[in-house]
């Protein structure tokens, strides 16, 4: 079975982890700060806090933004549930903005209309979380111009996006966003087994992110309330969480980051082959945007003539492990209990009903990709 996604770990990665196991602190040593600095160097962001998952990153980003009971957070339905759950963790309410059918990212026109209506109702969101779906950046400049009018905190869910770019800046640079959240899950751009990070250019947010990710505890005397008791002293200033990344995971991530550009090159090559080979099939292919370079986390097609379940089953039977991303969040039973219903966000629902994720990962061989393409042609033509 050819999977839709797969990590690529080599001997350098293994050696980096083994070095930590043999010679370093396993949890809070020197490697996590090195990884954080390397992510800043790569993306251009000023500050980074590594965490144990992108979900944790989204949670602490919302906390750093001051999200709490009574607040409202907006995101898109076309994402994994974590993009919305993070608001609920903070006691806030959640709402959605539908996607653009071409980019599959947030619909900027729909966002503008919804913001105008929300302003008239005095019910604006405190935070907007945009999702760079499949690795293609949202139109961040346009989105920022809208959110700035209403003093809305803008968070990028870039779980798919590391390695991609927008307007010549790397995704994660936070040129237009207050914070950007990354994922290092095994099928993402790089992996630390599990892990994530939050990037920002604002020192105040950076301090809050560190606190919320590390129990709310600080050992910085400048932040103490009152006098220190000695060099062992620490204070808890917030109700934080144990969301720290371990040195062992950071060592894997740091080693992987050195290969990110080569991973991106291979992903782009695979996407280009798909673009050229599938153009005449009854499929809607991903869009290529002039101002963005996708990280190509996913290669998503939409079936235009065939039944998706039937095609999915035939492909799996022939050894092609396609997948579907994502079941719209508002259709999940938990969110239906919150009052959302089918038909609320029709573009996301239509995309879900027709979408297939084709195999794309750096170690996908030419022969494997040829099998995917030939099998699709055999079934669809």
Predicted confidence (pLDDT) per residue in 214-249, tens digit: 999 999 999 999 999 999 999 999 999 999 999 999
Sign for the CA dihedral angle at 134, 135, 137, 143 comes to positive
Predicted confidence (pLDDT) per residue in 271-293, tens digit: 999 999 999 999 999 999 999 99
Enter the pTM of the model: 0.97
373 has a pLDDT exceeding 90 = yes
* H-helix or E-strand spanning residue 43: helix 31-43
Return residue ranges of the chain for CATH 3.40.640.10: 11-257
Do 236 and 216 contact (CB within 8 A), yes or no? yes
Instruction: Give the per-residue pLDDT at 114.
Output: 98
Going by their DSSP bridges, the two strands 283-284 and 153-157 should be labelled as unpaired
Q: Which residues contact 234 (CB under 8 A, 6 or more apart)?
A: 217, 218, 219
Instruction: Give the per-residue pLDDT at 131.
Output: 98
Tell the residue number behind the tokens 């936070």, with chain if given: 174
Nearest to 81 by CA among 96, 69, 66, 63: 96
Q: Which residues contact 333 (CB under 8 A, 6 or more apart)?
A: none
Neighbours of 70 (CB within 10 A): 9
Sign for the CA dihedral angle at 306, 308, 310, 313 comes to positive
Please tell me what DSSP assigns to residue 238: S
- Backbone dihedral region of 193: left (phi > 0), alpha (psi from -120 to 50 degrees) or beta? left
Question: How sure is the predictor about 313, in pLDDT bands with cuts at 50, 70 and 90?
Answer: very high
Top-level class of domain 260-380: alpha beta
Alpha-carbon 359 to chain mean position: 19
Do 297 and 189 contact (CB within 8 A), yes or no? yes
Number of residues that this document lists for the chain: 381
Mean pLDDT, residues 325-352: 98
29 has a pLDDT exceeding 90 = no
The β-bridge partners of 48 are 199
* Paired tokens of 278: 């599938």
Question: How sure is the predictor about 26, in pLDDT bands with cuts at 50, 70 and 90?
Answer: confident
Which of 5-9, 23-27, 54-58, 377-381 is least confident? 23-27
Question: How sure is the predictor about 28, in pLDDT bands with cuts at 50, 70 and 90?
Answer: confident
34 has a pLDDT exceeding 90 = yes
Instruction: Give the per-residue pLDDT at 79.
Output: 98
Instruction: Give the per-residue pLDDT at 182.
Output: 98
CA 25, 16, 242 angle in degrees (round to 5)?
45
323 has a pLDDT exceeding 90 = yes
52 has a pLDDT exceeding 90 = yes
- Rounded-to-integer distance, Cα 45 and Cα 39, Å: 8
Tell the residue number behind the tokens 């968070």, with chain if given: 155
Do 154 and 128 contact (CB within 8 A), yes or no? yes
- Rounded-to-integer distance, Cα 85 and Cα 125, Å: 15
Torsions phi, psi of 44, nearest 5? 95, 0
18 has a pLDDT exceeding 90 = yes
Q: How far is CA 149 from CA 62, 87, 121, 135, in A?
A: 20, 22, 16, 27
Instruction: Give the per-residue pLDDT at 308.
Output: 97
Predicted confidence (pLDDT) per residue in 110-159, tens digit: 999 999 999 999 999 999 999 999 999 999 999 999 999 999 999 999 99
Instruction: Give the per-residue pLDDT at 24.
Output: 79
Q: Which residues contact 280 (CB under 8 A, 6 or more apart)?
A: none
CA 35, 39, 42 angle in degrees (round to 5)?
135
Please tell me what DSSP assigns to residue 290: T
- Rounded-to-integer distance, Cα 105 and Cα 77, Å: 10
Q: How far is CA 189 from CA 35, 99, 164, 274, 324, in A?
A: 15, 23, 9, 19, 18
Percent of the chain residues past pLDDT 90, beyond the cut: 98
Instruction: Give the per-residue pLDDT at 2.
Output: 98
Q: What topology does CATH give the domain 11-257?
A: 3.40.640
27 has a pLDDT exceeding 90 = no
Predicted confidence (pLDDT) per residue in 64-123, tens digit: 999 999 999 999 999 999 999 999 999 999 999 999 999 999 999 999 999 999 999 999
Tell the residue number behind the tokens 């919305």, with chain if given: 84
Mean pLDDT of the chain: 97
Nearest to 11 by CA among 194, 252, 184, 190: 252
Return residue ranges of the chain for CATH 3.90.1150.10: 260-380
């Amino acid at each position: 079975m050819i999977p839709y996604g797969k990590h690529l770990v080599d001997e350098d990665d293994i050696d980096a982890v083994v070095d930590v196991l043999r010679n370093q602190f396993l949890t809070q040593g020197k490697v996590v700060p090195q990884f954080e600095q390397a992510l800043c160097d790569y993306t251009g962001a000023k500050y980074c806090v590594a965490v144990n998952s992108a979900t944790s990153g989204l949670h602490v980003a919302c906390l750093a933004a001051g999200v709490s009971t009574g607040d409202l957070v907006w995101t898109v339905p076309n994402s994994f549930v974590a993009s919305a759950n993070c608001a609920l963790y903070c006691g806030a309410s959640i709402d959605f903005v539908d996607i653009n059918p071409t980019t599959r990212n947030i619909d900027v026109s729909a966002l503008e209309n919804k913001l105008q209506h929300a302003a008239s109702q005095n019910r604006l969101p405190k935070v907007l979380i945009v999702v760079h779906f499949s690795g293609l950046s949202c139109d961040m400049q346009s989105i920022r111009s809208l959110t700035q009018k209403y003093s809305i905190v803008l968070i990028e869910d870039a779980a798919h996006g590391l390695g991609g770019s927008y307007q010549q800046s790397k995704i994660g640079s936070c040129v237009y966003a207050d914070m950007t959240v990354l994922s290092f899950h095994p099928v993402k751009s790089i992996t630390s087994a599990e892990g994530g990070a939050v990037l920002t250019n604002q020192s105040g947010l950076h301090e809050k992110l560190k606190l919320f990710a590390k129990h709310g505890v600080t050992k910085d005397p400048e932040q103490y309330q009152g006098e220190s008791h000695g060099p062992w002293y620490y204070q808890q200033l917030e109700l934080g969480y144990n969301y720290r990344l371990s040195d062992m995971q950071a060592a894997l991530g740091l080693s992987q980051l050195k290969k990110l550009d080569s991973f991106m090159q291979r992903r782009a090559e695979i996407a280009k082959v798909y673009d050229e080979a599938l153009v005449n099939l009854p499929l809607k292919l991903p869009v290529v945007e002039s101002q963005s370079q996708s990280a190509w986390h996913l290669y998503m097609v939409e079936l235009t003539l065939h039944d998706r379940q039937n095609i999915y089953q035939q492909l799996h039977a022939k050894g092609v492990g396609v997948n579907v991303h994502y079941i719209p969040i508002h259709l999940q039973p938990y969110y239906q209990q919150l009052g959302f219903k089918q038909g609320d966000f029709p573009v996301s629902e239509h995309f879900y009903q027709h979408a297939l994720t084709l195999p794309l990962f750096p170690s996908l061989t030419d022969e494997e990709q040829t099998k995917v393409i030939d099998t699709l042609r055999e079934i669809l033509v």
